[in-house]
Amino acid sequence: MAKAGKKKRARVVETAVVKEPVVHQIDGFIKRHATWLALALILLGTIRIAATYTVSYHTADEPAHIGCGMQWLSQGIYSYEPQHPPLTRVVAALGPFLAGARSTGKRDMYAEGIAVLGDGDRYEQNLTLARCGNLLFFWLACWMVFLWGSRTLGPAGAVFGVLIFTMTPTVLAHAGLATTDMGITAGFAAATYCSVRMAEQPGPKTAWWLGLTGGLMVLTKFSALVFYPAAVVAALVVWLFQHRTSTSHLLPLVRARLPWLGTATFLGLLVIWAGYRFSFGKTIWIPFPVPFPELFPGIREVIRHNSHGHIAYFLGEVSESGWWIFFPTLLAVKLPIAALALIGVGLWRRPGVSGGWPFWIVTSTAAAILLVVIPARINIGLRHILPMFPFLAVIGAVGLLWLAEQASQSQAALGTVAVLTLWLCISSLTAHPDYLAYFNAFAGSEPERIVVESDLDWGQDIKRLGQRLRELHATSVGFSPAIMLDPSQHGFPPWRWSAVDAPYPGWNAVQVTAWKEQRMGFRLQQPDVRLWPDYTKPVERVGKSILLYYIPPQR
């Protein structure tokens, strides 16, 4: 009897082990291998990004950034355009520079960039080398998502955050271009992370890291000078509201951190000065010589640019004034629907206090960025709020984490986790290599009705157009490129600028940006004039952004 009882208990224990929920087993595996899983996701994202380098043509802004960076590297000056600081541009030009390319002294930064790309008749190689530099910022941004997720949600939430971030097509798109947007995304995430660490544990180590990341953040893009203060103010407001801290309690906290904040500020300014090659001179705002004088005209140029606005197309309208619903709408149509669902669940089912960082720091930071850009008059791409995306990924990770926790008790929750995760991954993988032009199903089959420019057509499909025209044995083509290029160098047949009133007999190609935003040259003039692409049906679409027409010659 005793032996039978022991055998029965052994079977019960064995059954209990076998019947341990699969969700718990997966959760345990993720927690034990969180770092390696995150690195695997980052590696997969890197491979997917690198696979786009030779597919897409250079985009509108890449030559300018490369040209400015090459001037900094090979001439030791930075005079083409002050509106963007030098760090991301120097990183973009570093690869071609190490391969032997040098500044050619062109008067225009775009022409200079085109010349650098064509150096030694190595266009593909130089463009690939320029784009590779942005991987540094992609890796840093991914790791900051992991750190934010770890501090806020724990190891499983950190992995889920990296999954969502690296499966977002817009992230992959701008990580694969020699531009500035991934740079500020990484810099902002790092600087805000170090700011929370400073508030949590003030001292020389956190001051050093905050100074370094803060200085590098400013050197990526000047919108950091708006995003970062807005995020800090938003976090402070929420903290004061939640804690109801009296002045007598607040002042000692501030005094304890002031020396280290001063140290961080000094180090940050030193980093910025190094980014401008320790330049020293007079500026329009200060009548005596100061460090990094190029910084101040750059800030003034950004302010002027925003006050004057930028021509853009949105929902059938061309304007320079911007639209307050521009960025919220693009978030709704450019993020994968599965990611939107997870973000919604994350905002709805906020995590409780778990000993980590409060979740409201993440949400207030993301909200601060969105709030400050809504009144902006420069509405030319979701990329301008790319620094939100690491925080959106962490919010989405909250949703995925909560659903996974419910899955141990509910088959419906388990099915929801599986469906949303697969949906996210499949929608991202099937977007390859057209990450820049990705829209979810909410946008419909003609996303150019919503927006163009860097969200759909930034010139990336021009190389494909040349290839397609060769396949069609086209002897000529009417084409008005919306970016600077020399089509004759990239396999184009003889071409002429498109006519405004009617297509030419034979082949005609139209970038949707040239059609919708630039209106075939009309831009803001004569808004009631109908253009021939408005009523002429294309025979095919090249890539995602160029329409190809064929008009039979009259006999």
Q: Give the predicted TM-score (pTM) of the model.
A: 0.93
66-70, 109-113, 250-254: segment of lowest average pLDDT: 250-254
Is the separation of the CB atoms in 159 and 114 below 8 Å?
Answer: no
Strands 312-314 and 317-319: antiparallel
Give pLDDT tens digits for 305-317. 999 999 999 999 9
Q: Cα(131)–Cα(129) distance, rounded to whole angstroms? A: 5
Token pair for 386: 């790319």
Across the range 257-268, mean pLDDT stands at 95
Judge residue 248's burial from the number of C-beta atoms within 10 Å of its C-beta, 0-12 exposed, 13-18 middle, 19 or more buried: exposed
**Element (DSSP H or E) covering residue 551:** strand 546-551
191-195, 234-238, 348-352, 401-405: segment of lowest average pLDDT: 348-352
- Amino acid at position 388, single letter: M
Instruction: Identify whether 433 is preceded by a cis peptide bond (ω within 30 of 0).
Output: yes
For residue 477, give the 3-state DSSP assignment: strand
C-alpha distances in angstroms, 316 versus 353, 383, 452, 546?
Answer: 46, 21, 11, 18
Check residue 486 and give its pLDDT.
67
Judge residue 240's burial from the number of C-beta atoms within 10 Å of its C-beta, 0-12 exposed, 13-18 middle, 19 or more buried: exposed
The closest of 220, 223, 198, 225 to 210, measured between CA atoms, is 198
Domain ranges of the chain: 2-32, 135-429, 456-551
Check residue 355 and give its pLDDT.
61
Check residue 6 and give its pLDDT.
54
Is the separation of the CB atoms in 79 and 71 below 8 Å?
Answer: yes
pLDDT greater at residue 406 or residue 276:
276
Which band of pLDDT confidence, cut at 50, 70 and 90, is reported for residue 412? confident
Token pair for 496: 């002429």
Q: Cα(299)–Cα(225) distance, rounded to whole angstroms? A: 9
Check residue 45 and give its pLDDT.
98
Q: Cα(544)–Cα(460) distance, rounded to whole angstroms? A: 9
253-257, 264-268, 367-371, 460-464: segment of lowest average pLDDT: 253-257
For residue 102, give the 3-state DSSP assignment: coil
The closest of 328, 313, 460, 340 to 395, measured between CA atoms, is 340
Check residue 18 and give its pLDDT.
46
Check residue 15 and give its pLDDT.
46
Q: Cα(196)–Cα(232) distance, rounded to whole angstroms? A: 9
Across the range 182-192, mean pLDDT stands at 98
Q: What is the mean pLDDT of the chain?
A: 91
Give pLDDT tens digits for 317-347. 999 999 999 999 999 999 999 999 999 999 9
Per-residue b/e over 260-277, b at no fewer than 16 CB within 10 Å? bbebbeebbbebbbebbe
| Contacts with 336 (C-beta within 8 Å, 6 or more apart), sequence order | 167, 168, 169, 423, 424, 427, 428, 440
Crossing angle for the helix pair 359-373 and 135-153, to the nearest 10 degrees: 130
Indicate the DSSP class of residue 451. B
**Element (DSSP H or E) covering residue 274:** helix 247-275
